[in-house]
Amino acid sequence: MLAKKIPFFFTLLPLCASISACQQVNAWERGNLAKPQMAIDFDTLNAALQAHTFSSKEAASGGEGVGGGGCGCN
């Protein structure tokens, strides 16, 4: 019984993947999503300051991709 289901699954898998039909969304089709307020970090300066503050205070993380601890000693 399982031997009959496996080929069916491998036939169904590409079919389901092709149904999703990922395509490019043009700028005029985005509507409200194209507004700067809808961005993940629409205030880049504030996001950079928060990341800097977090990396300075979090001693266990070691900052954002730099060597040394959170104390500032490299």
DSSP assignment letter at 40 = T
Q: Does the pLDDT of residue 3 top 80, yes or no? A: no
Band the pLDDT of 68: cuts 50, 70, 90: low
Which pTM does this prediction carry? 0.33
Q: How many domains does the chain have?
A: 1
Q: Is the Cβ–Cβ distance between 70 and 55 less than 8 Å? A: yes
Structural domain including 14 reads: 4-58
In a domain, 66, yes or no: no
CB-based contact 57:70 (threshold 8 Å): yes
Question: In this structure, is residue 71 part of a structural domain?
Answer: no
Residue 20 in any domain: the answer is: yes
25 assigned to some structural domain? yes
Does some domain include residue 67?
no
